[in-house]
């Protein structure tokens, strides 16, 4: 937005203030005066709610508008109901002071406004394929894989490389088949913010399926399981209801259609009828919640 689309002027009832810090960068607070009827249009323009581009502070393009506070002034009685009414019947406002805060990019990072996009690196699990308006939580852990009985044997050398001799009277390290080995794994909760609605037909048949293509950069086929979805409803300041949808993925390095055999090797397996134990499917976030079900802000 090059400039507000309504008439305005700087008000010096509160002089402009400028500040800066190493932690938050530069900032400026400027008071503007507009007609009350134009106040909300001015704020929409300044914050870039319509076109997604916040107003650049004229004295420094590196500063962008991040906040606006509306202060009605000129309260009078006998309003004609022309859309500029006050806080009680019979009152109306004539003007408005609007205090606009401009911040440099250093301060905008925390407000999800770097480079005027919401694909902030810290919020993206896959940096090479960012997802608009998303965030994630991840927990790295170990996946327990059962060791079949008799699949392990005593080593010929110990941890220091010294030869070891195990008496024949010592039992095998695995007899019962109740032991487990741990392999790398993680649980990923990927939240897609600002969804319009949920269409279960897009994913109800995909729950419990594994990825048919490489996902998130390094998750090769059959290593990522779609474990389900959850939602949280909330309302915007204009009363519009939107949904945050969280998709849960479980990754394990050895793959979901594999198991350790009695010889100690890991092999792929299938059901007796030849079908996969875990069905391969397209479980990408954009397939489960398509762009048509996402919403981008365009007005406050």
Within 13 Å of residue 70, how many CA atoms lie on the same side as its CB?
18
Distance CA 46, CA 70 (A): 12
**For residue 135, pLDDT beyond 50:** yes
Write down the pLDDT at residue 115: 47
Say which residue, 47 or 240, is predicted with more confidence.
47
Maximum mean pLDDT: which of 19-33, 41-55, 150-164: 150-164
**For residue 36, pLDDT beyond 90:** no
Residues of the chain with pLDDT > 70, as a percent, come to 83
Q: In this structure, are residues 210 and 257 in contact, taking their beta carbons and an 8 Å threshold?
A: yes
Distance CA 108, CA 106 (A): 6
Distance CA 33, CA 36 (A): 9
Maximum pairwise Cα distance, the chain = 105
Any idea which residue has 């305005």 for tokens? 8
Any idea which residue has 């609007």 for tokens? 98
C-alpha distance from residue 16 to each of 9, 31, 40, 57, 232 (Å): 13, 7, 21, 12, 40
CB atoms within 10 A of CB 293: 16
Mapped onto helix, strand or coil, the DSSP state of residue 39 is helix
Q: How far apart are the first and last CA of the chain?
A: 15
Residues 6+ apart with CB under 8 A from 91: 75, 76, 77, 79, 85
Q: In this structure, are residues 297 and 234 in contact, taking their beta carbons and an 8 Å threshold?
A: no
Read off the pLDDT of residues 233-268 as tens digits, 9 standing for 90 and up.
887 655 667 899 999 999 999 999 999 888 889 999
Going by pLDDT thresholds of 50, 70 and 90, the confidence category of residue 300 is: very low
Looking at residue 54, the DSSP 8-state letter turns out to be P
Going by pLDDT thresholds of 50, 70 and 90, the confidence category of residue 108 is: very low
Distance CA 54, CA 113 (A): 9
Write down the pLDDT at residue 112: 41
Going by pLDDT thresholds of 50, 70 and 90, the confidence category of residue 79 is: low
Maximum mean pLDDT: which of 40-54, 117-131, 210-224: 210-224
**For residue 1, pLDDT beyond 80:** no
Distance CA 148, CA 261 (A): 6
Residues of the chain with pLDDT > 90, as a percent, come to 43
CB atoms within 10 A of CB 228: 15
Distance CA 43, CA 50 (A): 10
């Amino acid at each position: 937005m090059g400039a507000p689309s309504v008439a305005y002027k700087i008000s010096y009832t509160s002089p402009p203030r400028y500040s800066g810090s190493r932690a938050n960068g530069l900032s400026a607070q400027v008071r503007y005066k507009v007609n009350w009827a134009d106040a909300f249009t001015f704020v929409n323009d300044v914050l870039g709610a319509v076109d997604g581009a916040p107003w650049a502070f004229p004295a420094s393009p590196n500063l962008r508008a991040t906040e606006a506070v509306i202060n009605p002034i000129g309260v009078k009685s006998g309003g004609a109901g022309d859309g500029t009414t006050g806080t009680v019947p019979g009152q109306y406002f004539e003007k408005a002071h609007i205090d606009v805060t401009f911040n440099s990019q250093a301060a905008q990072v925390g407000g999800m406004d770097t480079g005027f996009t919401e694909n902030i690196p810290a919020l993206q699990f896959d940096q090479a394929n960012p997802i608009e308006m998303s965030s994630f939580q991840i927990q790295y852990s170990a996946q327990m894989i059962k060791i079949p009985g008799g699949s392990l044997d005593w080593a010929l050398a110990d941890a220091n490389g010294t030869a070891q001799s195990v008496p024949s009277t010592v039992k095998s390290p695995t007899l019962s088949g109740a032991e487990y080995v741990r392999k790398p794994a993680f649980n990923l909760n990927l939240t897609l913010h600002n969804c319009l609605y949920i269409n279960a037909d897009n994913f109800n048949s995909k729950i419990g399926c594994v990825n048919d293509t490489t996902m998130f950069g390094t998750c090769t086929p059959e290593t990522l399981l779609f474990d389900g979805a959850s939602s949280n409803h909330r309302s915007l300041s204009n009363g519009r209801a939107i949904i945050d949808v969280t998709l849960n993925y479980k990754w394990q390095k050895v793959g979901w259609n594999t198991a350790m055999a009695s010889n100690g090797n890991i092999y792929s397996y299938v059901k007796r009828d030849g079908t996969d134990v875990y069905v391969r499917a397209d479980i990408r976030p954009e397939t489960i919640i398509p762009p048509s079900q996402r919403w981008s802000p365009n007005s406050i």
